[in-house]
Amino acid sequence: MVKRTLVLGLVMFFLCSLCLRAEAKVIKLSYANFPPASTFPCVQMERFKQEVEKRTNGQVIIQTYPGGTLLGAKNMFRGVIAGQADIGCLVMSYQPGVFPLTTVCELPLGFKSAKVASMVLWETFQKYNPKEFARVKVLTVFTSAPSNLMSKKPIKSLKDLKGVPIRAAGAAGKIVEILGGAPIALPMSETPEAIQKGVAKGLLTSFEVLKDLNFAAYLPYGTITNFQVYPFAVVMNKDKWNSLPERIKKVFNELGKEQALWTGRYMDNHIQEALGYAKKKYGFKLFTLPQQDMDVAQEKLKILIDNWKKRAKAKGLPAEKILQDVYKFKAKYEQMGY
């Protein structure tokens, strides 16, 4: 009897220590990102790393790979699905047709801040849990700040945009085309070269790149348009996610919405810093598109919303309801002063 109890006790002790050791084992995760370390997608990545390591008391260690050193902009999604990286940051606008639902947020819907747009994207994702991300675990989503024009020559009206080669991806490229410009669809990681070589005479994106990628040195003029934002997602390999202890999954799930807000807030604040830098160091001049031109532009760009609805319906999505919800979420966060 005593022997049997001792053996049972030893077995139990052995099993428990196995579990504890498994539980306590340090989990190393790789996080791939495509643009240079100075840019906001990588700044949010480093904040995410610090928060995860802090909240798991160092049981999870995240090794970050900025600048496309592990995976690039165009193969990020496939690479994470294939396990080439455990975590990756992607822009849905870079892969037309792959993200039919969440690209609703790249449409010209009048977003005035990254904070509002990021929370709208988060709520839309939570409500619809899009199939387009079924093969991965989405850790968070956020957006860039509203896109404006930056150019070698002043663009003070839609007439000035005619025929100008402007770098812009996804819906932003369509906007440039519809308004008479010549869109050049490149991910941000390939844009510095296009600007320096003069292939692109301007770009349509958020103003922080004036500082983070020093575009103010090549593009001394800006035009406020707030045409649209670019939606981002941070995704984890599904098998890696399923292998994590529940306590660790809880930390990631609790961080998701917070990270979306943190990145939106960082982005909106950083835009002002970048404009200050561009004006002080390069005499950057900022114009605002005349209201009459903005009205003409908004009218012309409605086609993009109709086209998105057609594509979404073709994929079996409740397009009208999704768009209604996006406008409802947008109004809610704007009223909350986000």
Q: Which residues bind ligand DTR (CB under 6 A)?
A: 35, 39-41, 91, 144, 169, 188, 205-206, 209, 230
Smallest gap, in angstroms, from Cβ of residue 204 to ligand DTR? 8
What is the Cα Rg of the chain in Å?
23
The residue count of the chain comes to 338
Number of continuous H segments (helices) and E segments (strands) in the chain:
12, 11
The nearer residue to ligand DTR, 100 or 187, going by C-beta atoms, is 187
Q: DSSP letters along 132-200, please?
A: GGTTEEEEEEEEPPPPEEEESS---SHHHHTT-EEE--THHHHHHHHTT-EEE---GGGHHHHHHTTS-
The nearer residue to ligand DTR, 30 or 144, going by C-beta atoms, is 144
The nearer residue to ligand DTR, 73 or 317, going by C-beta atoms, is 73
Smallest gap, in angstroms, from Cβ of residue 89 to ligand DTR? 9
Which helix (H) or strand (E) covers residue 252, if one does?
helix 246-282
The nearer residue to ligand DTR, 158 or 166, going by C-beta atoms, is 166
Judge whether 51 and 7 are in contact, CB under 8 Å: no
Smallest gap, in angstroms, from Cβ of residue 24 to ligand DTR? 37
Smallest gap, in angstroms, from Cβ of residue 316 to ligand DTR? 28
The nearer residue to ligand DTR, 122 or 230, going by C-beta atoms, is 230
Q: Are strands 27-32 and 60-65 parallel, antiparallel or unpaired?
A: parallel
Smallest gap, in angstroms, from Cβ of residue 91 to ligand DTR? 6
